[in-house]
Amino acid sequence: MERKIIKDMQHVDELIYSFENVLCLDDNKTLEEYSDSEIIAEAQYILETYREYGHRNYYMITGDNGKHEKQIALKEVKQLITFLNKYKGGE
């Protein structure tokens, strides 16, 4: 049975992208092999990148890459905050 956190992270675009296209491949693991704390830590890291000058996500959220990119970034930040509010400290 799929854990609730795995199911919920499917609705967090940057988080699921990070796992499916980077971490799972690099670590040679499936989503289910990551602990809740590892998933939460990655979500926190991704959220921090929107405040990190020089990171692609920073330029998206500030609108430097255009209005459409800023809208996408705002949506992604909202998804991350909602996810973290639900799971942070929940392990």
- Encode pLDDT of 37-55 as tens digits: 999 999 999 999 999 999 9
* CA nearest to 73, candidates 39, 10, 81, 19: 81
* CA nearest to 73, candidates 61, 58, 55: 61
Span of 3-7, 57-61, 74-78, 85-89 with lowest mean pLDDT: 85-89
Is the sign of the CA dihedral 65, 66, 69, 74 positive or negative? positive
Q: The pTM is what?
A: 0.90
In whole angstroms, give the CA distance from residue 19 to residue 39: 9
Residue 41's identity, in one-letter code, is A
- Encode pLDDT of 22-36 as tens digits: 999 999 999 999 999
DSSP strands (E only) in the chain:
none
